[in-house]
Each structure stands twice: as structure tokens, then as C-alpha cells.
Amino acid sequence: SNVISTRIDRNALSVIPSLFNTALLPKMIQRREGQIIYISSVQGKLAIPYRSAYTASKHACQAFFDSLRAEVAQHNIKIFVSSPGYVRTNLSINALTTDGSKHGVMDKETDKGISPENFASSMVEDGVNEERDVMLCSTIAKVAVFLRHNIPSAYFWIMRNRAKNTS
């Protein structure tokens, strides 16, 4: 197995069967109520250079939960997806390089990200308010998502230049 398939398997493919291979969803359907909260990433809404496996896994989960939200609404089951931007965690330190070793460095963007405590507080508030799909990220990230969906040529130009400047 390679690093890309490992990352995709861990982030996307393990989430989907776990909901159905346990009694979680069937019990919610039986009770005709429930709430599923999935912590995604703004990268589930847009792709940035050099995060292809992570982004692919988050896109897959975003699509899964968007579909599931419609499928279970008739059973009064609510699906909440929280898509934060950078959260100050050890994600970049523990990220795998192409050879499978740990990256070992805190990215600048991650270091400047929201604290885990502030993210958790915002997520709970959004869940209580029954928000369905929330992006907790910078204005720049929100503009990027807007561009990706409304002016894709501009978005692709920006990402192409970002990749050149990062490599």
C-alpha cells in the first residue's frame, strides 16, 4: 500500500462502513431521531496543491454526508458537517511524506490557525443551532470556495500559481 491510498483509506473509506456496520444509523432510524456530526476540512470543499490525498478523502466524505443528509432527513436525523480551515494541531507535523515518513514540521498556516478549544466551542454552538454545513475558516478560504464554484478558471489560475510558488 502506498501513502496516498493509506491516507484516503483512513480518512474516507473507514468512515462510511463504520456508520452502517454498527447499530448507530439503524437505531437512529428506529427512534426516528438523531444527529451525526462530521468534522471535515475546508479542503473538503476545495483542493490546494500538495494535499491531494487529504483533499480527496475530505471531498469523498463531504459528498457522502451531503447524500446521507437527504436520505435520512425523513427519519428526523440531522447531519452536521463542520469544515474548519487551519486548526492549531499536530496534523502537519504528523503528515506523511511521499516515502511514508513523518513530515515533522509545523506548517506556518497551521501554526496561525484557530485553537482547538475555539474550534470546539464554535462547533458545539453551530450544532446546537442546527447548522447543516459550516465553514470555520478565513475570509480568503471562503472566497476561494466561492471562486471554485462560481469562477473556476480564476480559482485554477490561482492554485496553479500557488503550486509554482510553493514548489
Active-site residue set: 54
Q: Give the DSSP per-residue string, 7-29.
A: HHIIIIITHHHHHHSSSHHHHHH
Q: Residues with Cβ < 8 Å from 60, sequence gap 6 or more? A: 8, 11, 12, 13
Q: Which residue has the cell 504528523?
A: 94
Residue 72 near residue 25, CB atoms below 8 Å: yes
